[in-house]
Amino acid sequence: GTVPVLCVDGPTASGKGTLAARLAARLGYHLLDSGALYRVTALAALQAGLNIDAANETAIAELARRLPVRFEGDRVLLNGQDVSDAIRSEEGGMNASKVSALPAVRIALVALQHSFARLPGLVADGRDMGTVIFPAAPLKVFLTASAAQRAERRHKQLISKGIPARIDVLRADLEARDARDMNRAVAPLKPAEDALLLDNSSLSIEASVDQVLAWWQDKQ
């Protein structure tokens, strides 16, 4: 039968990852963190000595097509090595944004993303889940929050991990990444036409989860 897919798209640090993980746990569904695939691709390219630019598009796409990536709980393994911390850095995010603007890389990752859609269902987190990867999904949520809120949340996260950070620098970085994601030619960050918008600037994570679960019930 068809696998139900719930898409959660939105900009950097909007809280997509947390929301998607909670939704998957509540529904007992699989989880696709598509951003991690772009992050791992960028890391694999750098490890192979490739600069992340259009000149290496074909070579990077080739790496992406046979990406030896595995997810174990919240850990991400590349070639069996735990690269979770390496890919989650701000630099890792910026590098991911660069590889993700290369059309051949996006195409190379399509089949892998589709393979996550298995029964009983999937929660897919990214930028183009609803627009490109799972366009027939019954529910597409586009999650937003103000840039100020997002920078503040990211700042708290980093500080709690003992990583020093400045809010103004984080905000400039996330706005630069969003601008690249929104303005690229292929699969730009934008809500699907039938997406439901959720601004969580002043919502708790629990309230966001409950809102999306209510929408999901409506679709059944």
Annotated binding site for ATP: 10-18
- Rule CB under 6 A: say whether 35 interacts with ligand C5P: yes
Residue 126 near ligand C5P by CB under 6 A? yes
Q: For residue 47, is it left (φ>0), alpha (ψ between -120 and 50) or beta?
A: alpha
Interface residue with ligand C5P among 29, 38, 116, 216 (CB under 6 A) is 38
Q: Which residues are annotated as a binding site?
A: 10-18
Q: Which residue's CB is nearer to ligand C5P, number 38 or number 216?
A: 38
* Cis-peptide into 103, omega within 30 deg: no
Q: Are 209 and 215 in contact (CB under 8 A)?
A: no
Retrieve residue 108's tokens: 């190379």
Q: In angstroms, what is the minimal distance from the CB of 17 to ligand C5P?
A: 7
Contact 5, 115 (CB under 8 A): no
- Contact string (CB under 6 A) for ligand C5P, positions 10-29, x = contact: --x-----------------
181 is a site residue for ligand C5P (CB under 6 A): yes
Q: Which residues pair with 81 in a beta bridge?
A: 78
Is 171 a binding residue for ligand C5P by CB under 6 A? The answer is no
Q: Rounded distance, CA 178 to CA 151, Å? A: 12
Beta carbons of 23 and 137 less than 8 angstroms apart: no
Give the range of 68-76, 120-128, 148-156, 157-165 binding ligand C5P by CB under 6 A: 120-128
Nearest to 210 by CA among 30, 32, 19: 19
Greatest CA separation found in the chain? 49
Pick the stretch among 21-29, 124-132, 140-148, 162-170 that binds ligand C5P (CB under 6 A).
124-132
The stretch among 21-29, 68-76, 94-102, 195-203 that binds ligand C5P (CB under 6 A) is 94-102
Amino acid, single-letter form, for residue 94: M
Query: According to CB under 6 A, which one of 96, 102, 105, 170 is a site residue for ligand C5P?
Result: 96
Site residues, ligand C5P (CB under 6 A): 12, 34-35, 38-39, 93, 96-97, 100, 126-128, 177, 181
